[in-house]
Amino acid sequence: MPPASLIPDRQLTFSPELAETIGLEEAVLLQALGSHLNGADDWAPLSVTALQKTLSFWSLDHIATLIAKLVALGIIHQQPSQDPNIVLLSAAASNARDVQRSTASNAQTTSYGHPDWQPSDDLIELLVLNHGIPQSFINSAQASFMLSNSSEAETQFRRHILTRWRDTQKQEAKQTKAHAFEISTPASFDRDWTPSQDALEILAQADIDIVFAESVRAEFILYWSERGGPPKEVNSRFVEHVRRRWLKHTSQMHHSTEPTRIPRNWEPDTSVYETLRLAGIEQADAQTLLPEFVMYWVDSNEVHTSWNSKFLQHVKRQCRSAGYGEQHGGETGRGGAGGSHRSKDRSLSDDLTDTSWAN
């Protein structure tokens, strides 16, 4: 045997669109009255008791209240009857579709049963300013407003708009919460990845060569790819990476630790002359020793990490051996005391490898 159905044989139907417009109970009752209403101004007697048997979940008083609501909405007309169990009804609209069409055509300016009523400007201003409801929303929600009592029109309209606005806000909050749990597809992070324009502008403002930033981009991509993907603040991390590499690069350019050969046009830094001046040796005297110094080390083909230090040692040694300190009122050099310390008695190689000046 087939399983028993959870839905009973006798069913009531109603229009969801009509229920949204005039209310659920009113739509159910109007659907039940459909077979009793022939047309406008065609009065049909209806037994309330018989109708209550069809709508057994409502009392007679509740059915009478709903009929009064449909009359107030202007959907049906009613005439008084001598028999309290009999009501005389006629349809103001031929069917539910006509009711919906009538509602849509007069959405902005009318209400059921009160076609001339409109909300006041003060009421609309109150809803906009006090409740933060856009006027466009108020105009659109007015289409579904049904006025049942003209004496409380302002209050009914205010409640209607607030209810619709709160429902809309709740729906938007649910959608936002649902989107919050969605996992967005991460941006591609491969060899074609490029930093944002904002990151490049920050590097340019720091006087960092953009060509240099491009040269370390592949290194940055490889570093984070091997760690499973880019960091959340990928552009900020790229700026930090470029700054560190640029600082190291410029530091190496000015303070190289790699041994190099001396170029033929080599010149000492100005700091060398300043250091010699503190020792009482003028820059002009030191410069007279520069050609011989460069020629010697070019011919030797040796490499050193600091030619400035070598030149500093050479000048001090030569000036001390020549008694430069005594001639200029400075300290007496140890090299001026004996003939073995005279410059003409020593080779340049001995002078350049001598470290006695540091003792």
Rounded to an integer, the average pLDDT of 235-245 is 91
Produce one character per residue of 235-270: b if its CB has 16 or more CB atoms within 10 Å, e if not: bebbbebbeebbeeeeeeeeeeeeeeebeeebebee
CATH architecture of 16-105: Orthogonal Bundle (1.10)
**Tens-place pLDDT, residues 136-195:** 888 888 777 777 666 677 888 888 888 888 888 888 887 777 655 555 555 577 888 889
Task: Pick the closest to residue 143 from 103, 98, 107 (CA basis).
Answer: 107
- Position 109 scores a pLDDT of 40
- Position 312 scores a pLDDT of 86
- Position 252 scores a pLDDT of 64
The CA angle 328-329-332, to the nearest 5 degrees, is: 100
Task: Pick the closest to residue 160 from 175, 176, 144 (CA basis).
Answer: 144
The pTM assigned to this predicted structure is 0.29
Residue 13: other Cβ atoms inside 10 A: 9
**Which has more pLDDT, 256 or 109?**
256
Distances in whole angstroms, Cα of residue 289 to Cα of each of 46, 106, 269, 350: 130, 105, 15, 16
Rounded to an integer, the average pLDDT of 216-220 is 89
Element (H, E) at 241: helix 234-254
**Which has more pLDDT, 244 or 130?**
244
DSSP state letter for 338 = S
- Contact between 68 and 113 under an 8 Å Cβ cutoff? The reply is no
- Position 331 scores a pLDDT of 43
**Tens-place pLDDT, residues 123-132:** 888 888 878 8
Task: Pick the closest to residue 65 from 54, 78, 53 (CA basis).
Answer: 78
- Position 239 scores a pLDDT of 92
Where do the domains of the chain lie?
A: 16-105, 121-180, 197-254, 260-358
Task: Pick the closest to residue 70 from 34, 17, 107 (CA basis).
Answer: 34
Identity (one letter) of the amino acid at 331? E
- Position 41 scores a pLDDT of 55
Q: How confident is the model at residue 110 (pLDDT cuts 50, 70, 90)?
A: very low
- Position 240 scores a pLDDT of 92
Percent of the chain beyond pLDDT 70?
A: 71
- Position 80 scores a pLDDT of 76
**Tens-place pLDDT, residues 296-318:** 998 888 888 788 888 888 888 88
Question: Which structure tokens are listed for 329?
Answer: 């009122």
DSSP state letter for 141 = H
Identity (one letter) of the amino acid at 119? P
